Protein backbone atom coordinates (compact mmCIF):
# COMPACT_ATOMS: atom_id res chain seq x y z
CA UNK A 1 0.00 0.00 0.00
CA UNK A 2 1.84 3.19 -1.11
CA UNK A 3 2.40 6.12 1.28
CA UNK A 4 0.49 4.62 4.19
CA UNK A 5 -2.98 4.67 2.66
CA UNK A 6 -5.17 3.23 5.42
CA UNK A 7 -6.39 -0.34 5.07
CA UNK A 8 -9.89 -1.27 6.06
CA UNK A 9 -9.54 -3.94 8.72
CA UNK A 10 -12.61 -3.97 10.85
CA UNK A 11 -13.92 -4.76 14.26
CA UNK A 12 -17.36 -4.10 12.74
CA UNK A 13 -18.47 -7.15 10.80
CA UNK A 14 -21.44 -5.51 9.01
CA UNK A 15 -22.13 -1.93 7.94
CA UNK A 16 -23.86 -0.02 10.73
CA UNK A 17 -27.30 1.40 9.92
CA UNK A 18 -30.06 3.28 11.68
CA UNK A 19 -31.63 -0.10 12.44
CA UNK A 20 -28.43 -1.21 14.22
CA UNK A 21 -28.44 1.93 16.38
CA UNK A 22 -32.17 1.68 17.22
CA UNK A 23 -31.68 -1.97 18.21
CA UNK A 24 -28.77 -0.99 20.46
CA UNK A 25 -31.00 1.59 22.19
CA UNK A 26 -33.81 -0.91 22.67
CA UNK A 27 -31.36 -3.45 24.15
CA UNK A 28 -29.80 -0.86 26.46
CA UNK A 29 -26.39 -1.02 24.74
CA UNK A 30 -24.57 2.28 24.39
CA UNK A 31 -23.03 3.07 21.03
CA UNK A 32 -20.05 5.28 20.36
CA UNK A 33 -19.60 8.24 18.04
CA UNK A 34 -16.46 10.23 17.20
CA UNK A 35 -16.31 13.51 15.33
CA UNK A 36 -13.36 13.15 12.93
CA UNK A 37 -12.29 14.51 9.60
CA UNK A 38 -9.88 12.33 7.61
CA UNK A 39 -9.28 8.88 6.13
CA UNK A 40 -6.65 7.49 8.56
CA UNK A 41 -8.70 8.36 11.65
CA UNK A 42 -11.83 6.99 9.98
CA UNK A 43 -9.98 3.73 9.24
CA UNK A 44 -8.76 3.52 12.83
CA UNK A 45 -12.31 4.06 14.08
CA UNK A 46 -13.44 1.14 11.93
CA UNK A 47 -10.66 -1.06 13.37
CA UNK A 48 -11.78 -0.03 16.84
CA UNK A 49 -15.47 -0.80 16.23
CA UNK A 50 -16.81 2.77 16.52
CA UNK A 51 -20.38 2.56 15.24
CA UNK A 52 -20.99 6.16 14.21
CA UNK A 53 -18.70 8.82 12.71
CA UNK A 54 -19.57 12.48 12.56
CA UNK A 55 -17.83 14.72 10.08
CA UNK A 56 -18.54 17.71 12.25
CA UNK A 57 -18.34 21.36 11.32
CA UNK A 58 -16.14 21.54 14.45
CA UNK A 59 -13.48 21.03 11.78
CA UNK A 60 -13.62 24.82 11.42
CA UNK A 61 -11.82 25.00 14.75
CA UNK A 62 -10.03 21.67 15.08
CA UNK A 63 -8.58 21.47 11.57
CA UNK A 64 -8.86 24.88 9.94
CA UNK A 65 -7.99 27.07 12.94
CA UNK A 66 -11.06 29.34 12.99
CA UNK A 67 -12.54 30.60 16.28
CA UNK A 68 -15.92 28.98 15.68
CA UNK A 69 -17.93 27.05 13.08
CA UNK A 70 -19.43 30.07 11.30
CA UNK A 71 -16.82 30.24 8.46
CA UNK A 72 -17.26 26.55 7.51
CA UNK A 73 -18.56 26.08 3.95
CA UNK A 74 -20.22 23.28 1.98
CA UNK A 75 -16.93 22.80 0.09
CA UNK A 76 -15.06 22.19 3.38
CA UNK A 77 -17.69 19.69 4.48
CA UNK A 78 -17.76 17.79 1.18
CA UNK A 79 -13.95 17.53 1.06
CA UNK A 80 -13.84 15.99 4.55
CA UNK A 81 -16.90 13.72 4.15
CA UNK A 82 -15.29 12.26 1.01
CA UNK A 83 -12.02 11.64 2.88
CA UNK A 84 -13.74 9.96 5.84
CA UNK A 85 -15.81 7.77 3.53
CA UNK A 86 -12.65 6.63 1.71
CA UNK A 87 -11.18 5.50 5.03
CA UNK A 88 -14.16 3.58 6.38
CA UNK A 89 -16.73 1.29 4.79
CA UNK A 90 -18.49 -0.06 7.89
CA UNK A 91 -19.32 2.71 10.38
CA UNK A 92 -22.35 4.91 9.77
CA UNK A 93 -21.21 8.37 8.64
CA UNK A 94 -23.09 11.59 9.26
CA UNK A 95 -22.11 14.97 7.89
CA UNK A 96 -22.93 18.37 9.34
CA UNK A 97 -24.79 20.91 7.26
CA UNK A 98 -22.75 24.08 7.89
CA UNK A 99 -23.92 27.54 8.95
CA UNK A 100 -26.72 28.96 6.73
CA UNK A 101 -26.69 25.99 4.35
CA UNK A 102 -30.20 25.00 5.55
CA UNK A 103 -31.78 28.38 6.22
CA UNK A 104 -34.74 27.31 4.07
CA UNK A 105 -36.05 23.76 3.41
CA UNK A 106 -35.16 24.14 -0.29
CA UNK A 107 -31.55 25.09 0.50
CA UNK A 108 -31.41 22.18 2.94
CA UNK A 109 -32.54 19.74 0.23
CA UNK A 110 -29.87 20.87 -2.21
CA UNK A 111 -27.06 20.89 0.36
CA UNK A 112 -28.07 17.68 2.15
CA UNK A 113 -28.09 15.95 -1.25
CA UNK A 114 -24.50 17.12 -1.81
CA UNK A 115 -23.37 15.78 1.59
CA UNK A 116 -25.06 12.43 0.92
CA UNK A 117 -23.51 12.21 -2.56
CA UNK A 118 -20.10 12.89 -0.98
CA UNK A 119 -20.53 9.67 1.00
CA UNK A 120 -22.53 10.43 4.16
CA UNK A 121 -25.43 8.22 5.24
CA UNK A 122 -27.12 10.97 7.23
CA UNK A 123 -26.99 14.73 7.76
CA UNK A 124 -26.97 16.68 11.03
CA UNK A 125 -28.72 20.02 11.51
CA UNK A 126 -28.69 22.37 14.49
CA UNK A 127 -31.95 23.83 15.81
CA UNK A 128 -35.33 23.07 17.34
CA UNK A 129 -38.88 23.77 16.26
CA UNK A 130 -37.90 25.90 13.28
CA UNK A 131 -36.10 23.01 11.53
CA UNK A 132 -39.00 20.55 11.97
CA UNK A 133 -40.41 21.34 8.52
CA UNK A 134 -36.97 20.79 6.97
CA UNK A 135 -36.48 17.51 8.85
CA UNK A 136 -39.81 16.25 7.52
CA UNK A 137 -38.96 17.31 3.98
CA UNK A 138 -35.55 15.57 4.05
CA UNK A 139 -36.65 12.38 5.77
CA UNK A 140 -39.74 12.04 3.53
CA UNK A 141 -37.33 12.07 0.60
CA UNK A 142 -34.94 9.47 1.98
CA UNK A 143 -32.30 11.57 3.72
CA UNK A 144 -31.93 10.49 7.36
CA UNK A 145 -31.49 13.39 9.77
CA UNK A 146 -29.82 13.81 13.13
CA UNK A 147 -31.08 16.83 15.09
CA UNK A 148 -28.73 18.82 17.35
CA UNK A 149 -30.12 20.77 20.33
CA UNK A 150 -28.85 22.43 23.52
CA UNK A 151 -25.58 24.28 22.92
CA UNK A 152 -25.72 24.52 19.15
CA UNK A 153 -22.35 26.04 18.16
CA UNK A 154 -23.71 27.75 15.02
CA UNK A 155 -25.72 29.98 17.42
CA UNK A 156 -22.59 31.15 19.28
CA UNK A 157 -23.25 34.81 18.44
CA UNK A 158 -26.87 34.55 19.53
CA UNK A 159 -25.94 32.77 22.78
CA UNK A 160 -23.12 35.25 23.48
CA UNK A 161 -20.54 32.46 23.82
CA UNK A 162 -20.34 28.72 24.30
CA UNK A 163 -22.63 28.31 27.34
CA UNK A 164 -24.51 25.43 28.95
CA UNK A 165 -28.18 25.57 27.87
CA UNK A 166 -31.39 24.51 29.62
CA UNK A 167 -30.42 25.37 33.17
CA UNK A 168 -33.62 27.26 33.96
CA UNK A 169 -37.11 25.78 33.78
CA UNK A 170 -38.25 27.83 30.81
CA UNK A 171 -35.19 26.95 28.68
CA UNK A 172 -35.41 23.29 29.72
CA UNK A 173 -39.05 23.15 28.59
CA UNK A 174 -38.16 24.63 25.20
CA UNK A 175 -35.36 22.08 24.72
CA UNK A 176 -37.64 19.21 25.77
CA UNK A 177 -40.37 20.33 23.34
CA UNK A 178 -37.82 20.79 20.55
CA UNK A 179 -36.66 17.20 21.05
CA UNK A 180 -40.24 15.88 20.82
CA UNK A 181 -40.97 17.96 17.72
CA UNK A 182 -37.83 16.76 15.93
CA UNK A 183 -38.72 13.15 16.60
CA UNK A 184 -42.29 13.74 15.37
CA UNK A 185 -40.92 15.40 12.23
CA UNK A 186 -38.97 12.22 11.43
CA UNK A 187 -35.48 12.76 12.89
CA UNK A 188 -33.59 9.47 13.31
CA UNK A 189 -31.03 10.55 15.92
CA UNK A 190 -30.62 13.48 18.28
CA UNK A 191 -27.40 15.09 19.55
CA UNK A 192 -27.77 16.96 22.85
CA UNK A 193 -24.85 19.23 23.69
CA UNK A 194 -24.04 20.84 27.05
CA UNK A 195 -27.32 20.52 28.90
CA UNK A 196 -27.94 19.38 32.49
CA UNK A 197 -27.71 15.61 32.79
CA UNK A 198 -31.20 15.35 34.36
CA UNK A 199 -32.75 17.05 31.30
CA UNK A 200 -30.83 14.77 28.92
CA UNK A 201 -32.06 11.73 30.88
CA UNK A 202 -35.71 12.88 30.70
CA UNK A 203 -35.45 13.47 26.96
CA UNK A 204 -33.69 10.14 26.32
CA UNK A 205 -36.38 8.25 28.23
CA UNK A 206 -39.22 10.00 26.42
CA UNK A 207 -37.94 9.43 22.85
CA UNK A 208 -37.89 6.28 20.73
CA UNK A 209 -34.97 7.53 18.63
CA UNK A 210 -31.43 7.20 20.05
CA UNK A 211 -29.90 10.24 21.72
CA UNK A 212 -26.20 11.12 21.61
CA UNK A 213 -24.72 13.24 24.38
CA UNK A 214 -21.76 15.58 24.58
CA UNK A 215 -21.70 17.33 27.92
CA UNK A 216 -25.13 15.80 28.59
CA UNK A 217 -24.36 13.27 31.30
CA UNK A 218 -24.30 9.48 31.51
CA UNK A 219 -27.85 8.61 30.55
CA UNK A 220 -27.94 9.23 26.82
CA UNK A 221 -28.00 6.28 24.40
CA UNK A 222 -24.60 7.20 22.96
CA UNK A 223 -21.69 9.60 23.43
CA UNK A 224 -19.81 11.75 20.96
CA UNK A 225 -16.41 13.41 21.42
CA UNK A 226 -14.20 15.29 19.01
CA UNK A 227 -11.05 13.37 18.00
CA UNK A 228 -8.77 16.30 18.91
CA UNK A 229 -10.09 16.21 22.50
CA UNK A 230 -9.70 12.40 22.74
CA UNK A 231 -6.08 12.74 21.62
CA UNK A 232 -5.23 15.69 23.85
CA UNK A 233 -4.68 18.12 20.98
CA UNK A 234 -6.92 20.81 22.50
CA UNK A 235 -5.01 23.37 24.57
CA UNK A 236 -7.92 24.27 26.83
CA UNK A 237 -10.11 21.15 26.75
CA UNK A 238 -13.80 21.54 27.59
CA UNK A 239 -15.03 20.12 30.92
CA UNK A 240 -17.10 17.45 29.14
CA UNK A 241 -14.13 15.98 27.24
CA UNK A 242 -11.24 13.74 28.20
CA UNK A 243 -7.72 13.13 26.91
CA UNK A 244 -7.68 9.33 26.55
CA UNK A 245 -4.17 9.31 25.06
CA UNK A 246 -2.83 10.19 28.52
CA UNK A 247 -3.93 6.77 29.83
CA UNK A 248 -2.88 4.74 26.81
CA UNK A 249 0.26 4.41 24.75
CA UNK A 250 -1.18 4.86 21.27
CA UNK A 251 -3.87 6.48 19.14
CA UNK A 252 -5.76 3.20 18.60
CA UNK A 253 -5.44 2.59 22.34
CA UNK A 254 -6.99 5.99 23.11
CA UNK A 255 -9.91 5.38 20.75
CA UNK A 256 -10.43 1.91 22.23
CA UNK A 257 -10.36 3.27 25.80
CA UNK A 258 -12.88 6.01 24.93
CA UNK A 259 -15.17 3.38 23.36
CA UNK A 260 -14.83 0.95 26.28
CA UNK A 261 -15.30 3.59 28.98
CA UNK A 262 -18.39 4.88 27.16
CA UNK A 263 -19.93 1.44 26.73
CA UNK A 264 -19.17 0.55 30.37
CA UNK A 265 -20.60 3.90 31.57
CA UNK A 266 -17.29 4.95 33.13
CA UNK A 267 -17.15 7.99 30.85
CA UNK A 268 -18.49 10.63 31.27
CA UNK A 269 -17.52 10.80 34.96
CA UNK A 270 -18.94 13.24 37.52
CA UNK A 271 -16.33 15.87 36.60
CA UNK A 272 -17.49 15.85 32.97
CA UNK A 273 -21.17 16.47 33.75
CA UNK A 274 -23.28 19.64 33.99
CA UNK A 275 -26.09 19.97 36.54
Rounded CA-CA distance 245/26 in Å is: 31
Helix (H, G, I), strand (E, B) or coil at 53: strand
Task: Identify which of residues 96 and 178 has a Cβ nearer to ligand KIV in the complex.
Answer: 96
Q: Segment contacting ligand KIV (CB under 6 A): 54-62, 75-83, 158-166, 263-271?
A: 54-62
Q: Is 54 in the site for ligand KIV (CB under 6 A)?
A: yes
Partner residues linked to 126 by β-bridges: 148
Q: Segment contacting ligand KIV (CB under 6 A): 19-27, 51-59, 111-119, 263-271?
A: 51-59
Task: Say what angle helices 105-117 and 74-87 make with each other, to 10 degrees.
Answer: 30
* Chain centre to alpha carbon of residue 11: 21
DSSP line for 57-94: TTHHHHTT--SSSTT--HHHHHHHHHHHHHH-SSSEEE
Question: Active site residue: 27, 184, 193, 205, which one?
Answer: 193
CB 109 within 8 A of CB 61: no
In angstroms, give the least distance from the CB of 194 to ligand KIV.
10
Rounded CA-CA distance 231/246 in Å is: 8
Q: Is 220 in the site for ligand KIV (CB under 6 A)?
A: no
Helix (H, G, I), strand (E, B) or coil at 56: coil
Q: Is 192 in the site for ligand KIV (CB under 6 A)?
A: no
Q: Is 224 in the site for ligand KIV (CB under 6 A)?
A: yes
Q: Is 56 in the site for ligand KIV (CB under 6 A)?
A: yes
Kindly report the number of other CB atoms within 10 A of residue 144's CB atom.
Answer: 22
Q: Is 96 in the site for ligand KIV (CB under 6 A)?
A: yes
Can 133 be counted among the known catalytic residues? no
**The binder of ligand KIV chosen from 125, 145, 190, 214 (CB under 6 A):** 214
In angstroms, give the least distance from the CB of 226 to ligand KIV.
5
Number of residues that bind ligand KIV (CB under 6 A): 11
Contact set with ligand KIV (CB under 6 A)? 35, 54, 56-58, 96, 191, 193, 214, 224, 226
Amino acid sequence: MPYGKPTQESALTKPVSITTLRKMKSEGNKFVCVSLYDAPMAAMAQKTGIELLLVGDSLGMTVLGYDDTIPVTMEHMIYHVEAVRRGNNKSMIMGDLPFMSYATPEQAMINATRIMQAGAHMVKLEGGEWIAETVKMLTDRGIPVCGHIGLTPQYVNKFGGFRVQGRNEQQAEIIYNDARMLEEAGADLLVMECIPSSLAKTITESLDIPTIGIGAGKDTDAQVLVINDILGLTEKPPKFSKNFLEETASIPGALMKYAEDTRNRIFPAEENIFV
